[in-house]
């Protein structure tokens, strides 16, 4: 092992650990890796910055704009109405899968799921179906449909870009379609049968005619007239009577030890966790008030028509990492945050000090006139207030036609997808399908930085021989069993890595390995590249393996184990199908 190989492998391992532990943002990790590669001379300055001008990076950025144009133009309106007209949960899922099969191969699946979450939640309630029966399928099917075309996911474009940089001819627009459709049909059949029964039914009580998405954490202030004054939390038996649990007791801004044993006094703040209906019941009966410091802007709302709504922190939200108490600065005015819900974690800090994460759900009290502004905010996804249907003006068919041309021209080999996607984004903007100011907000810049920052890592792994070294000491150990066994090993490696770190990072790390493996065995690299593409683009077994899983994790009220129970069998089905069918469509 040379020094260069050791350094590149070391950087790759550090990146894997950072991605898996989420100690840093994914874009920060990518820039850190990029900087180290350039400083250590493992890539030239031109190679280090080449990722920002790579056609794959440009295409993905343009695709975010195109997706926003489709949504804002009203081209996707009417979907919720169609789903709400279904007669049974089975029919609901069938129609949902068909719609996703048409849209997700051409629109980034993260954007698709962001649009569909409130639609699915509202439509499922109309037919008496639990949203938890539909949201995991929404995430999974959007991933399955995304692998049907070159532009369906950023991973597809990333593998294609790295492979072309290393001498592979690359893939056409519909090269993945044959296998992708088989995966889509098999996965849909599983979700409609076995998976449907494995999905939890987390029906919750309605909250102001909408959803109670889980247990919120809020701060309740003990008022002077409260019946709890002079009692301890243990004596009051709040858990037994109301299903509300006091996590911390704060007095004059200080946490008190043994909160269950302390005698309560006026002004004490109870950091409490429970269903919002139960928290409200306790508040009214015990003379408590939601602590007023939760107001993002201190204003009186007595004369204002207010609505109680739930919003989720979106994947590319600028609010991620900010504290709840700081949102009043530069965000929407006149909002009151009543509580926060975070899956699989009990918060024990004062809520104004909690740093928000993607998937967190906030319970907000907002003026009715401000709801439309919240719906238009790309930093959040409004869950519990149904969006009014947009009228189908001329811009809706224009946006659909533009998207069709963006896909069709490269499919015929007339114009590269990077050019048509940019032209399509410009055309939609000029036509008013979205405002020019919204173009930059539509792009998930963390994904763009991630792609641009990690592309040089793939190049360094190939040029320094690190990829070949890893091949010799991993899949090379089973090369005597033939290319089919090696294919199974590479697919499995990609499958496991994707469940615990960014799918884009998995693609960058394994694409050079796939190419080096083919060179070692003297066979075509295409089957191994296809294995990496499909495995990295379909992550089902954990809620953190893919952004769409993270998005539905909180909204559906799921547990971590639900993804393992439903997703792991699906991963194994895809692994077997991939190993058997990839060599059929792309022989060694």
For residue 228, the 8-state DSSP code is T
CA dist., res. 291 & res. 229, Å (int): 16
Same fold yes or no, 214-290 and 306-382: yes
CA dist., res. 161 & res. 170, Å (int): 7
The residue with tokens 């009715």 is 368
CA dist., res. 297 & res. 293, Å (int): 9
pTM: 0.71
Domain positions in the chain are: 3-202+399-585, 214-290, 306-382
Classify domain 214-290 by CATH architecture: 2-Layer Sandwich (3.30)
CA dist., res. 421 & res. 427, Å (int): 10
Q: How many angstroms separate the Cα of 160 from the Cα of each of 148, 279, 450, 530?
A: 14, 52, 16, 10
Tell me the pLDDT tens digit for each residue of 181-190. 999 999 999 9
CATH superfamily of 306-382: Regulator of K+ conductance, C-terminal domain (3.30.70.1450)
CA dist., res. 309 & res. 311, Å (int): 7
Tell me the pLDDT tens digit for each residue of 311-343. 888 766 778 778 776 665 556 666 777 777 776
Signed CA dihedral, 163, 165, 167, 171: sign only: positive
Exposure string of 172-197, with b = 16+ CB inside 10 Å and e = fewer, is ebebbbebbbebbebbbebbeeebee
**Residue 273, class by beta-carbon neighbours within 10 Å (0-12 exposed, 13-18 middle, 19+ buried)?**
buried
Q: How many angstroms separate the Cα of 13 from the Cα of each of 19, 129, 534?
A: 10, 44, 23
For residue 256, the 8-state DSSP code is P
Closest CA to 81 of 487, 501, 390: 390
CA dist., res. 402 & res. 170, Å (int): 25
Look at residue 399 and give its three-state secondary structure: helix
pLDDT at position 208 is 33
Torsions phi, psi for 339 (to 5 deg) = -170, 170
The residue with tokens 């919750």 is 204
CA dist., res. 535 & res. 509, Å (int): 13
**Residue 128, class by beta-carbon neighbours within 10 Å (0-12 exposed, 13-18 middle, 19+ buried)?**
exposed
pLDDT at position 80 is 63
Per-residue pLDDT of the chain (588 residues; tens, 9 = 90+): 788 889 988 988 888 888 777 678 778 888 998 999 999 988 888 888 888 988 888 988 888 888 888 877 877 766 766 776 777 888 889 999 999 999 889 887 777 887 788 778 777 767 778 888 899 999 999 999 999 999 888 888 889 988 988 889 989 989 999 999 999 999 999 999 999 899 887 654 333 333 344 567 788 888 888 888 888 877 887 777 777 878 778 887 777 776 677 888 888 888 887 776 777 788 888 888 776 444 444 444 444 566 677 788 876 677 877 877 666 555 666 677 777 777 656 666 666 677 887 778 887 777 777 777 777 777 787 775 444 445 557 888 898 899 889 988 988 888 888 899 999 999 999 988 888 877 887 787 888 888 888 888 888 888 888 888 888 887 777 878 889 999 999 999 898 888 877 788 888 888 998 998 898 888 999 999 999 999 998 889 888 777 788 778 767 778 888 899 999 999 999 999 999 999 999 998
């Amino acid at each position: 092992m040379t020094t260069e190989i050791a350094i590149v492998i070391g950087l790759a391992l550090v990146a894997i650990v950072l991605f898996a532990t989420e100690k840093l943002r994914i874009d920060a990790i990518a820039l850190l890796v990029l900087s180290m590669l350039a400083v250590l001379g493992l890539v030239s300055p031109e190679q280090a910055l080449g990722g920002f001008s790579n056609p794959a990076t440009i295409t993905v950025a343009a695709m975010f704009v195109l997706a926003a144009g489709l949504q804002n133009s009203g081209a996707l309106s009417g979907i919720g109405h169609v789903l709400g007209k279904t007669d049974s949960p089975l029919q609901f899922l069938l129609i949902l899968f068909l719609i996703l099969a048409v849209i997700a191969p051409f629109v980034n699946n993260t954007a698709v799921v962001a649009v569909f979450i409130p639609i699915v939640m509202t439509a499922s309630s109309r037919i008496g179906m639990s949203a938890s029966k539909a949201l995991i399928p929404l995430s999974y099917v959007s991933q399955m449909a995304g692998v049907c075309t070159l532009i369906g996911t950023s991973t597809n474009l990333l593998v294609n870009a790295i492979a072309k940089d290393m001498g592979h001819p690359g893939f056409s627009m519909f090269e993945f379609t044959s296998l992708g459709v088989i995966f889509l049909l098999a996965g849909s059949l599983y979700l409609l049968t076995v998976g449907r029964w494995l999905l939890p039914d987390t029906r919750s009580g309605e909250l102001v005619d909408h959803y109670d998405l889980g247990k919120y954490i809020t701060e309740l202030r003990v008022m002077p007239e409260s019946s709890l004054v002079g009692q301890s939390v243990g004596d009051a038996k709040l858990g037994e009577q109301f299903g509300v649990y006091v996590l911390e007791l704060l007095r004059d801004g200080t946490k008190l030890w043994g909160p269950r044993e302390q005698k309560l006094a006026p002004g004490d703040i109870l950091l409490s966790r429970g269903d919002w209906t139960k928290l409200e019941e306790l508040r009214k009966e015990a003379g408590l008030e939601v602590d007023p410091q939760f107001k993002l802007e201190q204003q009186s709302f007595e004369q204002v028509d207010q609505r109680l709504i739930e919003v989720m922190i979106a994947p590319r939200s600028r609010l991620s990492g900010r504290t709840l108490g700081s949102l009043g600065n530069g965000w929407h005015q006149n909002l009151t945050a009543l509580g926060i819900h975070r899956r699989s974690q009990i918060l024990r800090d004062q809520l104004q000090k909690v740093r928000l994460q993607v998937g967190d759900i906030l319970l907000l009290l907002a003026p009715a006139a401000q709801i439309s502004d919240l719906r238009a905010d790309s930093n959040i996804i409004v869950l519990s207030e149904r969006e009014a249907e947009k009228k189908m003006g001329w811009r809706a068919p224009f946006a659909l036609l533009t998207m069709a041309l963006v896909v069709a021209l490269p499919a015929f080999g007339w114009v590269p997808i990077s050019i048509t996607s940019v032209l399509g984004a410009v055309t939609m903007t000029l036509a008013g399908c979205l405002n020019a100011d919204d173009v930059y907000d539509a792009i998930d810049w963390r994904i763009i930085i991630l792609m641009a920052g990690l592309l040089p890592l793939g190049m360094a792994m190939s040029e320094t021989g690190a990829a070949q070294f890893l091949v010799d000491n991993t899949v090379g150990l089973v090369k005597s069993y033939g290319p089919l066994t090696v294919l199974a090993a590479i697919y499995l490696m990609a499958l496991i890595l994707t469940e615990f770190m960014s799918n884009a990072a998995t693609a960058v790390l394994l694409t050079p390995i796939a190419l080096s493996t083919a060179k070692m065995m003297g066979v075509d690299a295409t089957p191994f590249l296809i294995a990496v593409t499909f495995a990295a683009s379909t992550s089902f077994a954990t809620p953190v393996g893919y952004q769409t899983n993270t998005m539905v994790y909180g909204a559906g009220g799921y547990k971590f184990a639900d993804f393992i129970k439903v997703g792991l069998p699906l991963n194994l089905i895809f692994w077997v199908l991939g190993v058997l069918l990839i060599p059929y469509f792309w022989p060694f």
